[in-house]
Structure 1
């Protein structure tokens, strides 16, 4: 654990001081006089709902935006960055949710991009480059293969490559934006150790997250923004989850009225039908799955738990027709899914909310209306022409039903917050109701309030009779939502447990670890 709330830490002079910073975009006050202090060697969590001002401040500190008023100091010297280069020269490194890696290059190439060792004639010293990268990764205990192509890595390892890339420079202030959004517990522990080592060298760390349990494990202090203003600064060791949630959403928010907690635990769970399954896999195999078998009932929320790369996502992709069924059988309401492609799967009532909403779930340059109607174009078209009125009515109804916060259905999706973007992804499949709803990390990068709203959407889908298959690296999320949870290891389901057997997140994590092949434990 990081030593939290120590007198020496709190009394140290600030590495970064932000005082009364303001930023306006047209008629919108994104920041209305926020203040923040980061100490050398401190991990300082920055919390707030989407739209609270966190991203705006990060972009000001990284030189993307210039603040309109207030002051910023680094080690007592006033600064104002007009470009990302100026920010980097001052020792500020930022790791955003949207990665900036070159997928066609190796991990080593990405880590040293722009600062590669070269001969006098300008030729690349490849061996030296790889050796430097390997030495750094080893020193930080980051389990990455320096020679691996980034494009071949799972998302979690690409994210860790981005973080390693930021750490390689002469960093004084490290800003991490949702760094664990796609990491398993084991990978999260590795990341936390790297962060602690960086902080121990005197680097100040701003840690932006929506996962409040992380705050108590990694941070020394917490600052909360709400509506572009400060809502409080707390010493982590002296704070409670309820205090932080109250500061984030405000004391009157519905999140605080669900059994007195932020998690929504204690809410009624869908019982799950005991009738014949709506979806059944029997010994399904392909390039990633090994005799995978499961049953999903109508009205049930069924979770898939496992390590990154275990095959959880590939199970969803196979059901949706993105991967072929090479052996075994998959049935929807008794009918075979073998040979089904995504278009046919949609026609059969199978819907997929993918892990990466920006790349796979949305067309960011299109409007909310276009995104909501995209999978259902035949329903809104006549003789090949889109019928704008029914499409618009459908979009407006979906926005009302899901509480999408936007001026109108014509708003471009790229201008929405992460939570509202994810609601649009759900809205694509809301009408007609899907027979099977496949969810891959549905709350990644979503704030506390929007997360609870999405939980409500998931529960409502199950209550309406959809079978829901949920992949999540957040074990507490699985425990909150699911009627049953299956453990996935190397493309195979090794065990399924029902709600009475769940226990807590630590128990589920332990069960996942015990399910791994024995040679992994020996390693």
Structure 2
């Protein structure tokens, strides 16, 4: 679509931000017009998150910058009430939802209207207000449903409803900060149908995403950040492709990963027998040394639960896992997570900060934590081996900043993901189970992660990769198991390509029956 003429919905000029000796932003300029879907891209650590935090009042910028919405200057730092009045809202990558609360409680949190005399919250009125917002979105959810029980797509709709509830028709700016990362292919398509309906009503959208294909496909214009500065501002996306955006982001050409010869050996490494977890019932699987086995499917098909059970992160109803001479009960009645680690099984979860890392601890502490008990002693952990392991992983994965003492929470998302992967690679596992390892990381970090996984396979590690990313599966895997309704409906091997994986996931199974979307 062609953005509307007139005052810019959002105009950022000369915004800078300094943290000690580091300049996170340098004179950033950004213009978003009314009715526009504007993309913002850049590597992890380029300043995108810092910019969003300035726009929403979390950070105060350095003196000298300005920020206007519909021609109206906002104070810096931005005040929450002023931000709300201007119609600026943000949907973060983790959506910021409280799983134990209901839909209406999540949408109205912080906005409850108490009675003037009783000071009590009118629950019926609050529920009606949320139902009206969801109706405007065309997503009539049960507002009394607990958010933790919703699908990823419906959770995203709740976050959007919360963001747009104060918007006046024909106005408003919603910032989506990696908000699509947990959505599958079809859910993502419906998500953008929803976004376009907001734009048709006059709102503007700033979309921050690492999915360059997504940026090229859905946005009107794109702005590129590199090292805290704007490299390209407001480029029409019809004039660029993913390769051009990559070159702008990195300042260089990036060699695209191609498939490589398999590292799988004849030697059996691990076997799964009778796994029953979630919708999966009776899964058997053999994994060879050096083999990379992909698990994929639609959300709810069972591939995610299977990976979590194999990694020791989810208790199965039944089943066993044998890794070399170690036998593990997947129902965990006779075992615990420590048994998986002792058996050489490592699990990299999807949600890095919530389930995989201790944000307040340092890079070194996170990288070495699983081996403190085995390599240290009750009186002294031992600094020498920690320093050695940490230096090796920082070099292998190009973790930035290369500071062992930096708190992990201060790192960009891509570098946090590298720390999480390095935490387990340092222990040289026999079986590495990965759940969406390149989710919400930039192209540079993705290449480092792919290289590290391939190196582990070359060293003899067996790898299970659970992902909805067809590109990652095609580039890395020796074979891919496509799940449907709790069973393996297709097994793809040989010269894999992403189109074949997508077709197997969303197309017909081997019996010729159509998939149920």
TM-score normalised according to structure 2 size = 0.90
- Alpha-carbon spacing, 1:504–1:446, altered in 2? closer, same or farther (3 Å): closer
In the aligned structure 2, how far is the partner of 1:75 from the partner of 1:142?
A: 29
Displacement of 1:33 in angstroms is: 0.9
1:420 aligns with 2:415: yes
Q: Given that residues 246 and 254 in structure 2 are in contact (C-alpha distance below 8 angstroms), is that contact kept between their aligned partners in structure 1? A: no
- Consecutive unaligned residues of structure 2, counting only runs of 5 or more, are none
Query: Does the C-alpha gap of structure 1 residues 45 and 216 become closer, same or farther in structure 2, counting only changes over 3 Å?
Result: same
Match of 2:9, SS state, is strand
CA distance in 2, matches of 1:138, 1:479: 40
Tell me how far 1:46 sits from its aligned partner.
0.3
In the other structure, the counterpart of 2:291 is 300
Q: What are the within-5 Å matches in structure 2 for residues 107-256 of structure 1?
A: 107-116=103-112, 121-142=118-139, 144-153=141-150, 157-170=154-167, 172-233=172-233, 234-251=235-252, 256=253
Among 39, 47, 65, the residue aligned to 1:53: 47
Q: What per-residue deviation string (whole Å, max 9, x for no partner) do you get for residues 114-162 of structure 1?
A: 4456667455444454444344334424475432212334556434422
- 3-state SS of paired residue (2:35): coil
Give me the whole-angstrom Cα distance separating, in 1, the residues matched to 2:405 and 2:128: 51
Q: Distance in 1 between matches of 2:462 and 2:470?
A: 20
Structure 1: 5+ residue runs without aligned partners? Answer: 259-263
Verify the 8 A CA contact 1:182 1:473 in the aligned structure 2.
no
Contact 2:371 2:427 in 1 (8 A): no
- How many residues end up aligned between the 2 structures? 505
* Residue pair 1:62, 1:88 contacting (<8 A) in 2 also: no
Deviation per residue, 1:240-299 (Å, 9 max, x gap): 222111110002xxxx242xxxxx2424243423x2532222331145532223222221
Q: 1:240 to 1:100 in 2, by over 3 A?
A: closer
Q: Is the Cα–Cα contact under 8 Å of residues 263 and 457 in structure 2 kept in the other structure?
A: no
Q: Deviations over 1:322-356 (max 9, x none)?
A: 33443344322365321442101111110001111
Q: Aligned in 2, Cα 1:297/1:134: closer, same or farther, shift over 3 Å?
A: farther
Aligned to 2:395: 400
1:195 positional shift: 0.8
1:272 aligned residue: 264
Q: Which position in structure 2 is the counterpart of 1:101?
A: 97
Indicate the residue corresponding to 1:261 in structure 2: none
Paired with 1:518 and 1:139, the residues of 2 have a C-alpha distance of 39
The correspondence for 2:347, drawn from 343, 352, 358, is 352
- Do 2:394 and 2:402's aligned partners in 1 also have CA atoms closer than 8 Å? no
C-alpha contact (below 8 Å) 1:304/1:488 kept by paired residues: yes
Matches of 2:379 and 2:279, distance apart in 1: 38
The 3 A distance-change label for structure 1 pair 485 and 138 is: farther
Match of 2:505 among 500, 512, 517: 512
**Alignment match of 1:90 (pick from 65, 86, 98):** 86
Q: 2:311 pairs with 317, 320, 333, which one?
A: 320
Alignment of 1:8-87 (within 5 A): 9=3, 12-68=6-62, 69-82=64-77, 83-87=79-83
Equivalent-residue separation in structure 2 for 1:144 and 1:467 (angstroms): 42
Q: Any conservation in 1 of the 2:9–2:69 contact (CA below 8 Å)?
A: yes
- Of the candidates 458, 461, 480, which is equivalent to residue 463 of structure 1? 458
Shift of 1:375: 0.5
The answer as to 2:368 corresponding to 1:373 is yes
Q: Give the secondary structure class of the aligned counterpart of 1:14.
A: coil
Within 2, Cα distance between the matches of 1:521 and 1:473? 16
Instruction: Give the superposition deviation at 1:518.
Output: 12
Q: What's the TM-score, normalizing by structure 1?
A: 0.89
Partner of 2:424: 429
3-state DSSP of counterpart to 2:68: strand
Answer with 216-225 or 112-121: which moved more. 112-121
Alpha-carbon distance in 2 for matches of 1:143, 1:292: 37
Q: Higher mean Cα deviation, 395-404 or 431-440?
A: 395-404
**Are the counterparts in 1 of residues 45 and 411 from structure 2 also a CA contact under 8 Å?**
no
Change (3 A) 1:415 1:100: same
